[in-house]
Structure formats: C-alpha cells, structure tokens
Amino acid sequence: MPTRVVLAPMAGVSVQAFRRQGRRFGAGLVCSEMVSCAGIEHRNERTLGYLRVAADEHPLAIQIFGSEPRVMAEAARMVAAAGADIVDINFGCPVRKVTKTGAGATLLDDPERACRIVEAVAGAVQVPVSVKMRRGLENGSRRCLEVGPRLVESGAQTLTLHPRSAKQMYTGEADHSLTAELAALVDVPVIASGDITSRAKAQAVLAATGAAAVMVGRAAQGNPWAVQEILEGDGAEPSREEVVAELVLFMRETVRELGDRRAGGFLKKFYGWYLGRGRFPRPFKQELVLLETVGEVEARLFAEVPGARFVLARIEQEQPVADEILLDGMPISIYGGG
C-alpha cells in the first residue's frame, strides 16, 4: 500500500467511480462494496457487475459475504480472477437482510463457522485474505478479541476492526481501545475503522492502537478531499468549480458503469453529499434531485458553475481511461449498462 489510508467498502456507495476517485486522492487501498456469494454462485447479472475492475484501482480489495464455506471459496476464486489484490470477508455488516441469512456480523457469534469460511477462502486463492468485523453483536461485546486471533490462525492475513457493536449500527463512538487490544493480540496488520474524519483523528488512532492503517468511510462520501486532508493535513475547502467538476466526473463514470436508468436513482444521494457542507444552498440541491435525467443534472450544474467545465477537462486529461478486466462468460450487458 502506498499510503496508510484505506477507503472503506460501503454498500450502495463503493462503485468503481468512487474507488477510482479515492485512489486519485491518495487512498492506499480501495474496497468494493460487499458482493453476495450467493449472487456469484447463481451468476446474478447485477452481482457480477460488481466485479468490474479498472487498471488504476489497484491495490483493490473485493469484499464478499455469505455463510457457507464452499460457496464463499468459489466466490473468492472468481473475485481473484476478476483482479482483486485482496479478498476481504465481511463479518461486520449489521443490516438485518444480511444477518438473517447467517452472514455478516452474525458470524461473530458462530466462530466455528467463521473460521471454516476463512480457511476455505484462504485455501482457494493465492492473494491475501482479510476480514472486516465489528466488536460483536451486542453493546459492550468483546467478541472480536476472542474471534480475531482464531481467524488469523485460519488464514486471515489482515483484520479490520470497526469497534462498534452491530446493535449500535453507526450511533455512539467507535471504541478504539479494542483496536489496540486486538493489534496486540495478533501478528498480522490491523486496520482501524470508525470515526476517522480528520488527519488529527487518524494520527491519534494510529498512535494509540498500533494499527497499520486507518479506514475512512462516511467522511469520504461525496468528499474525496477528506482523504487528501488525512494524508496531507491541508484542510482547505475545495472551490465550487472543483466540487462540481468532481461530481460531474463521478456522474459520468457511474452512468458508464450502471447505465442511465440505474445511475439516475443511485446518484441522487450523492448530490447532497457533494454539494452539502455549506458549499451550495439547500434549494439548489433539492432542485437537482427533482430533475429526471443525469444529463439534465449535469447541464444544471454547469449553468450554475460554468468554470467547472475547465477543471473537469483538466481532470479528465490527467486520468487514465478505465481499462477494465472482463471475465469470460459474464453477461455482456453489465459492461454496457443495458
């Protein structure tokens, strides 16, 4: 990893456009959103679409989730074939539709199965295997300290800890004293996740925990400058031209990846993320959400900030073309957005 900042895997966020942007702003490792192993096994078209990999994303971790060791191992093989540098296993998702299947954070309460999954995945691929987990299911749980070392014995070569409980979701504060305890228990790198919002916080967590790196999640949503600030300490607010240029580039890449129809709905939350933080008036953000097409949103943005066109042209000139790896046998329509 060229830097000690990891861009977190986030469902409904970590599309290829998000990852490529994160790398441009200095993230040393980027991660896909979690990919369903059942979806891979059944060759679900939308699931396979998550396995698009561009040449400038590396190093890249692709995260998988599931509850059956055999299915997870087969998914790991496909993920590695798609170009992942790391196969990441999700033992942290607290969302009900994931945990009710026996996947995600639920596996922290089933350490035997969790270890079998890690062993199966590690045995199936040549690339490193990492695990992302929560502290446990219940508030105050210390289950991660019991399970973490066993996962390493089973083949995990990196652990990422988000020291909130699954019950907490994203409320309260991340208890990084647990991160420090975990880092002292295992002889593999530990990545600290949770509440990493500034360079000062990142430095404090690294110093206090002995973690190898920090993971940035919600702070980078619509705000890649957060990654840059953590790395360089430059907290200068981007200009309106820079904000609109980055948003339009993100929109164009998302349309290329998802197609016009899916991208239209997917992008709506990003308008508020990019244009918030006092950068643009609230009525303007609300106006964009009401527009019917991504093309109309782009035109309205450029009408509001004409100078963004020149900033965008410079960024596009500097950014390499997304040279994607296409797996044989995948439905071609996922690459054309059809």
* Cis bond before residue 59 (omega within 30° of 0): yes
Helix, strand, coil % over all residues of the chain, rounded to 5: 50, 15, 35
Please name the amino acid found at residue 104.
Answer: G
CA 133, CA 128: separation in Å to the nearest integer? 17
Are 179 and 207 a contacting pair, CB within 8 Å? no
CA 210, CA 244: separation in Å to the nearest integer? 38
CA 149, CA 172: separation in Å to the nearest integer? 26
Cα–Cα nearest to 91, from 158, 41, 12: 158
Please name the amino acid found at residue 335.
Answer: Y
Strand runs labelled E in 155-216: 158-165, 190-193, 213-216
Which sign does the torsion angle of CA 233, 235, 241, 244 carry?
A: positive
Q: Is 169 exposed, middle or buried (0-12, 13-18, 19+ CB in 10 A)?
A: exposed
Bridge partners, residue 324, by sequence: 54
Pull the structure tokens for residue 161: 């800890």
From 31, 37, 93, 115, active-site residue: 93
Supply angle C-alpha 129, 134, 135, rounded to 5: 120
Is residue 31 annotated as a catalytic residue, yes or no? Answer: no
CA 11, CA 132: separation in Å to the nearest integer? 14
Residue for token pair 């918030």? 276
3-state class (DSSP) for residue 53: strand
> Among all residues, which ones are annotated catalytic?
93
